[in-house]
Amino acid sequence: MSKKVYIFLADGFEDIEGLTVVDLMRRAQIDIKTVSIKEIRDITTSHGIHMQTDLAFKETDFSDADMLVIPGGMPGTKYLGEYQPLCDLLTDFYKQGKKVAAICAAPTVFATLGFLEGRKATAYPSCMDGLKGAERSLDSVVIDGNVTTSRGLGTAVDFALSLIGQLLGEKTADEIAESVVYSRK
């Protein structure tokens, strides 16, 4: 059975953190869709790359999702955290025990929503103070229950492979790592 993942993008998202997840998941045959939180599908990354997402938030039904992902970057993380329909979707998903994942500054959105209370989590170094209620970790990727967090651009491949491992098993994650000449720790 194919897995379905949605990754939410706002202007100013960190290119590598978002697109590494998309690239590696597609290599693993996971059906991942990029979703704009704007009315239109045009997004500009934090480094000025213009792109089109697969979908716009308001035209999408997320009931088939196995995982929801938010990348970091500024001001992308700020915009994601301010977009109430996304926060409501993430909260509903989280409360159902389904998998949510965030990298870099984006775990602070999870903290604001109360997802990290009493959980182990990580984030970009300057964002660690924003992990209210969490047991802060310096690990590159932290999985605590249905919540996965990661530190930043330098951990994007580890983050993506971890998500693949959670959805399809470690053997598949290892195969994808090998296919892109990446040594897993």
The stretch 3-8 carries a mean pLDDT of 98
Which tokens in the block code for residue 135?
A: 């047991």
Q: Is residue 51 part of a domain?
A: yes
On the question of pLDDT at 94 being above 80, the answer is: yes
Domain of residue 38, CATH code: 3.40.50.880
pLDDT score, position 57 = 98
DSSP class of 37: S
Predicted confidence (pLDDT) per residue in 100-113, tens digit: 999 999 999 999 99
Q: Is residue 111 part of a domain?
A: yes
Residues written for the chain: 185
Residue from 57, 128, 42, 56 nearest 88 by CA: 57
pLDDT score, position 184 = 81
Q: Is residue 185 part of a domain?
A: no
pLDDT score, position 64 = 97
Domain of residue 130 covers 4-179
Taking the C-alpha atoms of residue 177 and residue 68, their distance in angstroms, rounded to an integer, is: 22
On the question of pLDDT at 21 being above 90, the answer is: yes
Q: Is residue 168 part of a domain?
A: yes
The stretch 119-137 carries a mean pLDDT of 97
Average pLDDT score over the chain: 97
Q: How confident is the model at residue 2 (pLDDT cuts 50, 70, 90)?
A: confident
pLDDT over 90 percentage in the chain: 97
Q: Is residue 67 part of a domain?
A: yes
On the question of pLDDT at 1 being above 70, the answer is: no
Count: domains in the chain: 1
Residue from 42, 97, 102 nearest 66 by CA: 97
Q: Is residue 60 part of a domain?
A: yes
Query: ∠ at Cα 12 (23, 134), nearest 5°?
Result: 80
Q: Is residue 106 part of a domain?
A: yes
Q: Is residue 130 part of a domain?
A: yes
Predicted confidence (pLDDT) per residue in 53-82, tens digit: 999 999 999 999 999 999 999 999 999 999
Determine whether 104 is an active site residue: yes
- Exactly one of 25, 104, 153, 177 is catalytic; which is it? 104
Predicted TM-score (pTM) above 0.95: yes
